[in-house]
Structure 1
Amino acid sequence: MEHVLLDGDTLTLDEVLAVAHARARAEIAPEARDRVRRARALVEARLEDGEAHYGINTGFGTLAEVRIDRADLERLQRNLVLSHAAGVGAPLPLEEARALVLLRANVLAKGVSGIREETLDLLVALLERGVVPVVPERGSVGASGDLAPLAHLALVLIGEGEAFLAPPGAAPERLPSREALRRAGLAPVILQPKEGLALVNGTQAMAAVGTLALLRAERLADMADLAGAMTLEGLLGSQRPFAAEIQAARGQLGQVVSAARLRALLEGSEINASHQGPGCHKVQDPYSLRCMPQVHGATRDGLSFCRQVLGREVNAATDNPLVFPDTGEIVSGGNFHGQPVALALDVLGIAASHLAAISERRVEQLVNPSLSGLPPFLAPRHGLNSGFMIAQVTSAALVSENKVLCHPASVDSIPSSAGREDHVSMGMTAALKARQIVENVRTCLAIELLVAAQAIDLRAPLRPAAPVAEAHRRIRAVVPRLEEDRELHRDIEAVCRLVDGGALAV
């Protein structure tokens, strides 16, 4: 199994994915341990200087001016975790919760949070032993980061709340955290001064959900090119708009990449060769075919921006206050504010949504006989059979849902904490919306792949280009050609599984 070293600086998005899906083990880098020890020593030194230090011997938020007695400091940190664990809704899926644990551990390994080494070790041990915190997905406004989600994570470390016990290869079991820890051979910790605050401040929930959504969207951008190529073959479309010189004349990077992929997917097509020359009655294809490089490419550019932001954020110190052993300072700031991530995740949702929007238009081209020249809804004995009529309607429904979801969360703000947190990012809302948009995109592309496969069948004996033919073969291995009406949801689900599993990556 791959090993991922956590040092707070070098974690990659692909490593996040590997640990999230339990394909890699996380370990703390030796140099990170030294930084963690030094930062902790500074926190403990400040406990002896008689001064007020936010979150160490004071209350939190608007209660920052309230000084806490030394005898109550452990209780202060415990109370912070308990009171902030106010999340609601469904738990994060296991892979997102594991990504959350990983990102929190990586940030703490940066050595500017003041946490103890043993607390950090327990966090990493959760990943190793298959203890996954139950983290409700709603309740964060992205102000001091994701307070509620991170508090639910911290609950597990103190033996409170709930966790899934999910060792590799076993079905997850939802248990009280103390029992899950016991079965995994772990023991809870008693939080010391600053540790509760170090655990609940930060943007790791929005970053975890957003990172997995981004990586999925990047794979779907490739799938959109494949789906579009299959549809182009089924509709006797032209490859000429994908010529390299057209893309170079504009110079948009994502467009160049998508056009190159389309050319490679369509090279050597018998179907395309069959309608070349003066006998072809078409002058131009509709935009959903002709402008695939421009639309798919713009999505790629939007996803690239999001990748840059998240690539920085997974290695960012986002709690408060930050502890700097080299200067001896403990400084309050605002790195926990989720605005950079919220904005990037809104871009992710908007960018990804266009893959579904243009895909649905291509499906309409396929099922509409006045546009395709094929049987209505690609149905055998149409009239008796409805074919793919409602598959297009399903795609349209998801596209319209995405239009609602694409309203940016990051333009919203609502004051909290008695006005102290008077501008918030809504970053977790942006992450959850982006996740649902990407899910809808996956299904829309699966519908297009399913319908385009039928159109290619109707072009036989002419064969499509080799990559398209291979994708068609893999689809037909799980979904037979439609000869009479059947439950289409089963076919859609089967192609969705192919997309999710990477089986159509040709």
Structure 2
Amino acid sequence: MVVLTGNDLTFHEMKRILYAVEQVTASEESMKAVLACRQAVEKIVEEERVVYGITTGFGKFSDVVISKEDTEELQYNLIVSHACGVGEPFPEIVSRAMIVLRANTLLKGFSGARPVVVDTLISLVNHRIHPVIPQQGSLGASGDLAPLSHLALVLMGEGEVFYNGERMPALQALTQEGIVPITLQAKEGLALINGTQAMTAMGVVGYLEAEALALQADLIAATTLEGLHGIIDAFDEDVHRARGFVEQEDVARRIRELVKDSQLVTKQGEMRVQDAYSLRCIPQVHGASWQVLHYVQEKLTIEMNAATDNPLIFDGGNKVISGGNFHGQPIAFAMDFLKIGVAELANISERRIERMVNPQLSDLPPFLSAKPGLQSGAMIMQYVAAALVSENKTLAHPASVDSIPSSANQEDHVSMGTIGSRHAYQIIQNVRRVLAIEAICALQAVEYRGVERMASATKTFYKEARDIVPSIKGDRVFSEDIEKMAMYLKGYDYPIYEEMKG
């Protein structure tokens, strides 16, 4: 059970909630803060004070005063009018992350929602009821308004959900689990949708997948190093300590550990003096991607525990301030950075693939074909890797450099952070397929060299991966192999996974 407090949610806990489907609860202290803030909102309504989003309209309508008799209708209208997202829904795991993050931010006690709103969000998580949330439609400022409105619809018994492997009306799933839909009161609609939880949820899921990919990139690169008789001297500890980047040193250490008992890697001068950059510079390139990952993790961790609502309520309601914490710029930059850092893992991977399949660059069979000429072998797999890498270059264009004014120019600068997070996730899927292609080629290369001469760690990988993709004895539909290997990489924790991290 993960206890949400609004202040200290970690990636480790998110991983448990998302992948181990662990249940959540709210701390007693945080719920007291929620109740106290709610009482402040009710006092504002009763006194008919003019406070944005509580007794006024929204956006450009902030100067329109709303009577206390109309507060429920105001909140309902807000949600249904803003629930206009389009396109394919976010992956179910992202929807789950959104609910958790929204509950966590309400638990900070600055948003003014009733405890029942938090309880209902937590019930959705614990009963695995995940809102169907279209991916497109957020500008990433004023919060992720359209996506989060689709989440809020479910609390009201409207909209659609994923439940027990099916897509169905929200009310049907809520009824089956005995969850009572809520009627939103003053401020609650705004409290649910004014925030960055769509881009942050997408970023969290993307980050967790990217971290696994970065470790897998090291493992696959180590296998390629063996397949190409790579020179291990370039990974010497002194070389990387001389530069001083910790992440670079970590990658070099992992590669050394992975191939420590290999009879396939070589020393400089044995076969050649030095390797091409795609082999020799693995620590420098992969290490730089790890620097990006660490930056992204830091920013997402802050945002996971941030108050991103507007207005925020302090001092028992005596201090209510309309600010801009809903602006997604910090996460927009982080997502754009993530795109570049992860895309580079595929860029260098594709070059290693080329070295394995190109007979002018190694002594391996041309295109790793069993019968070169009669059979094409891995020839077009390299094409696919090149196409994915090229597509990533387009997707890696920063979303955050764009801004389009909205709400009659009241909201005249936006982050486009949700677009950045979605594109980052697309890049991650492409990178995984490129690494899958490298893995298939590397398995074939080391098989040609002699599996018995492999390092213990990479040999374990070889044996397990061969259950997924068999040896290339002849041409076949390699698309199926690529997808199988990609799914294997997505869902598998290697026995050496934690050791690699350390």
Q: Which of the five TM-score ranges fits, normalised by the shorter chain?
A: over 0.9
Corresponding residue number in structure 1 for 2:112: 114
Over 3 Å counting, the alpha-carbon distance change for 1:327 and 1:189 in structure 2 is closer
Is 1:251 the equivalent of 2:244? yes
Corresponding residue number in structure 1 for 2:344: 354
| 1:96-175 equivalent positions in 2, closer than 5 A | 96-166=94-164, 172-175=165-168
Corresponding residue number in structure 2 for 1:169: none
Contact 2:41 2:317 in 1 (8 A): no
Q: In structure 1, what is the Cα distance between the partners aligned to 2:354 and 2:268?
A: 27
Q: In structure 2, what is the Cα distance between the partners aligned to 1:143 and 1:476?
A: 47
Q: In structure 2, what is the Cα distance between the partners aligned to 1:102 and 1:220?
A: 24
Is 1:421 the equivalent of 2:411? yes
Deviation (angstroms), 1:497: 2.3
Q: Structure 1 residue runs of 4+, over 4 Å off?
A: 275-278
Corresponding residue number in structure 2 for 1:286: 276
TM normalised by structure 2 equals: 0.97
Corresponding residue number in structure 2 for 1:82: 80
Is 1:481 the equivalent of 2:471? yes
Corresponding residue number in structure 2 for 1:238: 231
Which secondary structure state, in structure 2, belongs to the residue aligned with residue 32 of structure 1? Answer: helix
Which secondary structure state, in structure 1, belongs to the residue aligned with residue 46 of structure 2? Answer: coil
Deviation (angstroms), 1:505: 5.2
Corresponding residue number in structure 2 for 1:15: 13
Q: Which moved more, 1:410-419 or 1:14-23?
A: 14-23
Q: In structure 1, what is the Cα distance between the partners aligned to 2:271 and 2:157?
A: 72
Deviation (angstroms), 1:461: 6.3
Over 3 Å counting, the alpha-carbon distance change for 1:452 and 1:22 in structure 2 is closer
CA distances 1:217-257 after superposition (whole Å, capped 9, x unpaired): 11111111111111110111101111111111110121111
Which secondary structure state, in structure 1, belongs to the residue aligned with residue 53 of structure 2? Answer: coil
Is 1:196 the equivalent of 2:189? yes
Deviation (angstroms), 1:340: 0.2
Q: In structure 2, what is the Cα distance between the partners aligned to 1:478 and 1:119?
A: 45
Amino acid at match of 2:337: V
Deviation (angstroms), 1:270: 1.2
Which secondary structure state, in structure 1, belongs to the residue aligned with residue 23 of structure 2? Answer: strand
Q: In structure 1, what is the Cα distance between the partners aligned to 2:129 and 2:268?
A: 64
| 1:323-338 equivalent positions in 2, closer than 5 A | 323-325=313-315, 328-338=318-328
Amino acid at match of 1:161: G
Q: In structure 2, what is the Cα distance between the partners aligned to 1:194 and 1:325?
A: 17
Contact 1:223 1:505 in 2 (8 A): no
Deviation (angstroms), 1:276: 4.4
Corresponding residue number in structure 1 for 2:421: 431
1:187 to 171, 180, 184: 180
CA distances 1:369-427 after superposition (whole Å, capped 9, x unpaired): 11111110011111111110011111111100000000000111110010011000001
Q: In structure 1, what is the Cα distance between the partners aligned to 2:355 and 2:247?
A: 25
Deviation (angstroms), 1:18: 2.1
Ranges in structure 1 where 5+ consecutive residues have no aligned partner: 167-171
Deviation (angstroms), 1:487: 1.2
Contact 2:131 2:162 in 1 (8 A): yes
Corresponding residue number in structure 1 for 2:253: 260
Q: In structure 1, what is the Cα distance between the partners aligned to 2:373 and 2:379?
A: 11
Which secondary structure state, in structure 1, belongs to the residue aligned with residue 180 of structure 2? Answer: coil
Q: In structure 2, what is the Cα distance between the partners aligned to 1:78 and 1:217?
A: 38
Contact 1:288 1:359 in 2 (8 A): yes
Amino acid at match of 1:490: E
Contact 2:48 2:55 in 1 (8 A): no
Over 3 Å counting, the alpha-carbon distance change for 1:399 and 1:433 in structure 2 is same
Over 3 Å counting, the alpha-carbon distance change for 1:478 and 1:51 in structure 2 is closer
Deviation (angstroms), 1:48: 2.3
Corresponding residue number in structure 1 for 2:335: 345
Corresponding residue number in structure 2 for 1:407: 397
Which secondary structure state, in structure 2, belongs to the residue aligned with residue 247 of structure 1? Answer: helix
Amino acid at match of 1:75: E
Corresponding residue number in structure 2 for 1:25: 23
Q: In structure 2, what is the Cα distance between the partners aligned to 1:388 and 1:277?
A: 29
Over 3 Å counting, the alpha-carbon distance change for 1:14 and 1:503 in structure 2 is closer
Corresponding residue number in structure 2 for 1:365: 355
Q: In structure 2, what is the Cα distance between the partners aligned to 1:98 and 1:503?
A: 22
Which secondary structure state, in structure 2, belongs to the residue aligned with residue 271 of structure 1? Answer: coil
Q: In structure 1, what is the Cα distance between the partners aligned to 2:85 and 2:466?
A: 44
Over 3 Å counting, the alpha-carbon distance change for 1:113 and 1:63 in structure 2 is same
1:449 to 416, 439, 443: 439
Amino acid at match of 2:226: E
Deviation (angstroms), 1:50: 3.1
Q: In structure 1, what is the Cα distance between the partners aligned to 2:356 and 2:268?
A: 23
Corresponding residue number in structure 2 for 1:471: 461
Which secondary structure state, in structure 2, belongs to the residue aligned with residue 489 of structure 1? Answer: helix
Deviation (angstroms), 1:21: 3.1
Q: Percent identity?
A: 49
CA distances 1:147-184 after superposition (whole Å, capped 9, x unpaired): 00000000011111111223xxxxx2222222221112
Which secondary structure state, in structure 2, belongs to the residue aligned with residue 364 of structure 1? Answer: helix
Which secondary structure state, in structure 2, belongs to the residue aligned with residue 24 of structure 1? Answer: coil
Amino acid at match of 1:31: E
2:486 to 480, 485, 496: 496
Amino acid at match of 1:232: L
2:52 to 51, 54, 57: 54
1:319 to 309, 320, 324: 309
TM normalised by structure 1 equals: 0.96
Deviation (angstroms), 1:69: 1.6
Which secondary structure state, in structure 2, belongs to the residue aligned with residue 90 of structure 1? Answer: strand
Contact 2:233 2:267 in 1 (8 A): no
Is 1:395 the equivalent of 2:385? yes
Corresponding residue number in structure 1 for 2:499: none
Q: In structure 2, what is the Cα distance between the partners aligned to 1:132 and 1:35?
A: 26
Contact 1:271 1:462 in 2 (8 A): no
